[in-house]
Structure 1
Amino acid sequence: MLERLIESLEAAPMVQRGDYHYFIHPITDGVPLLDPALLRDVACAMVTVMDLHGVDKIVTAEAMGIHIGTALSLMTDIPLNILRKRSYSLPGEIAVHQSTGYSTGQLYLNGIEKGDRVVVIDDVISTGGTLKAVLAALENAGAEIVDVCVVIQRGEPELGRAYTPLVTIDVDADGVRVIDTCR
């Protein structure tokens, strides 16, 4: 099920951003083209590795978690909640400051109620900055975090809780190498 993901990662184009080797991939960047079969493979793999029993909501952050969350929501009939990059000023909105290895910003959490059972998904984890902030906001809102799953893990980020990456990669000037999978 992960063969298409592995092949596409290992063929991903590279760009240099300062000292950072950045890979361009449809799952993490939406370019050059997101193949429906690849997205379906990713969502199917998530369904097989995640605990979705009794889950009320799938939670992801804008922007690159949206397509993955949508596919997962369509497959499971679990509603999708998206942390957005702009405030809607709704009652109970929680501002979430996120800091990654290459950016900082605000996300806004709406629509989570105390006692909601949620799973959190994302496209990639490299520093853990975004996911740590999202998890803290969900806990602050009173949600029960049932499971956390990311498509791609780069490096060895620590969240302070268990999470499942579908694939773990190493990236250098020569490209992307998949070094582990959830199988």
Structure 2
Amino acid sequence: MERLKRSLLEAPIVRKEKDGEVYEYFVHPITDGVPPLDPAVMREVVVGVVRCADVERVDKIVAPEAMGVHIGTAVSLAVDVPLVVVRKREYGFDGEVSLAQETGYSEGEMFLNAVEDGDRVLLVDDVLSTGGTLTAVHAALESAGAEVVDTVVVIEKGEPPELGFDVESLVRADVEDGEVVVG
């Protein structure tokens, strides 16, 4: 994960405010879509996800919109397993599962389609911070009758929350004293 780590160390830092508190946040193409994503970094991420997950056992890859989509797409293409995107828009299809997503940055409703009873899935996302998105998607997958074989995120920020299921991360990163620290 050397390219990924190096790209994180070079990531710009911005100051954000939430509920009157100011905090520093690194901006990275994996988690934010800017600056441009180096294809070599994405290839390294795909190799990392494939090594962490038992892709031979999965029928579908599931990725939440928005920032899990590019990761899920790249992994899907690499291992030739169909991708399901958890959408922020309702379509009303039979079997659609609604889930409430709440993170440290936003909250809203998301919708899971095309996952059926007995499907074995790999859940991938860009970042684990509060665990809000992963917890909601994981519960929706179980509600649909799917077996979550593995859950993999690219970047883990801060102290990992207790989720009640295992999550593999490729790298840990956070901002400390104005600099990105990678562990």
- TM-score band, normalised by shorter chain: over 0.9
2:149 maps to which of 125, 140, 146: 146
SS at 1:53 equivalent? helix
The amino acid of 1:16's aligned partner reads R
Residue aligning to 1:15: 14
1:90 maps to which of 93, 100, 103: 93
The reply to whether residue 163 of structure 1 matches residue 167 of structure 2 is: yes
1:162, distance to aligned residue in structure 2 (A):
1.0
The amino acid of 2:108's aligned partner reads G
State the distance in 2 between where 1:174 and 1:124 align: 20
Contact 2:71–2:126 (8 Å) recurs in 1: yes
Structure-to-structure mapping, 1:36-51, within 5 angstroms:
36-51=39-54
The amino acid of 1:145's aligned partner reads V
2:67 maps to which of 64, 77, 94: 64
Q: TM-score, normalised by structure 1?
A: 0.94
SS at 2:48 equivalent? helix
Gaps of 5+ in 2: none
Q: TM-score, normalised by structure 2?
A: 0.94
Residue aligning to 1:79: 82
State the distance in 2 between where 1:161 and 1:10 align: 29
1:173, distance to aligned residue in structure 2 (A):
4.2
SS at 1:95 equivalent? strand
Percentage identity across paired residues of the two chains? 56
- Kindly tell me the number of residue pairs found equivalent between the two proteins: 178
Aligned Cα root-mean-square deviation (Å):
0.9
